Amino acid sequence: MTPLDSLALSRGTVDRLTEQRTDTAWLDAAWADPGTRVLVVSDGQALARIDDDERGQAALVFVPPRQAPEGTRFLLGRDDADGTVYFGVSAPLPDAPPGTRPAALREVGTLLGDRDAGLLTHAVALANWHDTHTHCPVDGTPTVPGPGGHFTVCPKDGTEHFPRTDPAVIMLVTDPDDRCLLARNAAWPGRRVSILAGFVEPGESVEQAVIREVAEETHIKVTNVRYVGSQPWPMPRSLMLGFRAEAPAGQDIAVDLEEIAEAYWFSRDELLAAIEAREIALPPPVSIARQIIEQWYGGPLPSTWPERR
Ligand SMILES: [Zn+2]
């Protein structure tokens, strides 16, 4: 099995500087440094310069600290290649310079370079958390971000609160003929299909979650659950944990009809033919689902699922 080496949102390169997050003197000096760069994020988007030619590359737009808007600030890290320190600020986006526009991870995740893909993923995840976790869960008091922005503190009882990440499993199931199981979610329009996925429940292992979710959604029992790779998916706060699993022979698919509308086995030839006939459409390359499907297929597949903008 080839490794999942092209996970768009798992490419971050900056040092996260976890030691410096609570060092207020260091943080103040870094913010005062005109060479520091700030990424402003709002509602999952940041400004980016996007080449609309065939190469399709993108780069984030940063501002120096003195030009950054007021908002919740957090340290993202330092690029050790050139020493630049990066912060994120959750605030309304500044006016877009010519040639730039707001963009979300789904659109530019595969177009950004490694450093920028990691910075945007990290910043969106932290901003989403700050935006939705504003009060102490113990007593309801509004919390205050701690230095560095990687935790909040309740001023009433002093409790500290840390960013949330929800683990989700996503799995490609094969039968004894090495056909793969693809399903259409009842909430998805038209021809979209993907592999099965679901959230890990409290008190459950990821392997148990894989077995439970496949059985719930298709009545297929799987064995030999193997981890293949992970990708953060901060929309709003998931960590996608990728797996392969095997379905022993002699089982019939029975979808739940609530979450899954239909599910079928596809050989590699059948999959390519169905895509080319536009009978089905796979998830976009930015998703771990697409990468796991192409890993099984043995190479790239045509794209037909329109990317959301
Ligand atoms: Zn409290």
Using an 8 Å Cβ cutoff, are 293 and 180 in contact? yes
Using an 8 Å Cβ cutoff, are 149 and 72 in contact? yes
Residues 6+ apart with CB under 8 A from 158: none
User: Quick one: CA dihedral 105, 108, 110, 113, positive or negative?
Assistant: negative
Tell me the pLDDT tens digit for each residue of 80-138: 999 999 999 999 999 999 999 999 999 999 999 999 999 999 999 999 999 999 999 99
Give CA–CA dist 172/169, Å, rounded: 10
Q: Ligand 1 centre from 138 Cα, in Å?
A: 5
Give CA–CA dist 64/48, Å, rounded: 16
pLDDT band at 54 (very low <50, low <70, confident <90, very high): low
Model confidence at 159: pLDDT above 90: yes
Q: Ligand 1 centre from 144 Cα, in Å?
A: 11
Q: Ligand 1 centre from 199 Cα, in Å?
A: 28
Q: Ligand 1 centre from 133 Cα, in Å?
A: 12
The answer to whether the bond into 176 is cis (omega within 30° of 0) is no
Q: Ligand 1 centre from 146 Cα, in Å?
A: 14
Q: Ligand 1 centre from 161 Cα, in Å?
A: 10
Give CA–CA dist 221/253, Å, rounded: 10
Residues 6+ apart with CB under 8 A from 180: 172, 173, 174, 195, 265, 266, 271, 293, 296
Instruction: For residue 240, list its beta bridge partners.
Output: 168, 231
Tell me the pLDDT tens digit for each residue of 235-246: 999 999 999 999
Q: Ligand 1 centre from 160 Cα, in Å?
A: 9
Q: Ligand 1 centre from 281 Cα, in Å?
A: 47
Q: Ligand 1 centre from 135 Cα, in Å?
A: 8
pLDDT of residue 307: 44
Q: Ligand 1 centre from 215 Cα, in Å?
A: 41
Q: Ligand 1 centre from 73 Cα, in Å?
A: 21
Model confidence at 140: pLDDT above 80: yes
Q: Ligand 1 centre from 232 Cα, in Å?
A: 29
Q: Ligand 1 centre from 147 Cα, in Å?
A: 18
Residue 100 phi/psi, 5-degree rounding, is -125, 165
Residues 6+ apart with CB under 8 A from 52: none
Q: Ligand 1 centre from 164 Cα, in Å?
A: 17
User: H/E element holding 240?
Assistant: strand 238-246
Residues 6+ apart with CB under 8 A from 138: 154, 157, 159
**Residue 162: how many CB atoms within 10 A of its CB?**
11
Q: Ligand 1 centre from 84 Cα, in Å?
A: 36
Residue 148 phi/psi, 5-degree rounding, is 85, -20
Question: Among 91-95, 150-154, 295-299, 302-306, which stretch is predicted with the lowest mean pLDDT?
Answer: 302-306
Give CA–CA dist 230/239, Å, rounded: 7
Give the number of C-alpha atoms closer than 13 A to the C-alpha of residue 221, restricted to the C-beta side: 4
Question: Among 4-8, 19-23, 295-299, which stretch is predicted with the lowest mean pLDDT?
Answer: 4-8
**Judging by DSSP bridges, how do beta strands 58-60 and 45-50 pair with one another?**
antiparallel
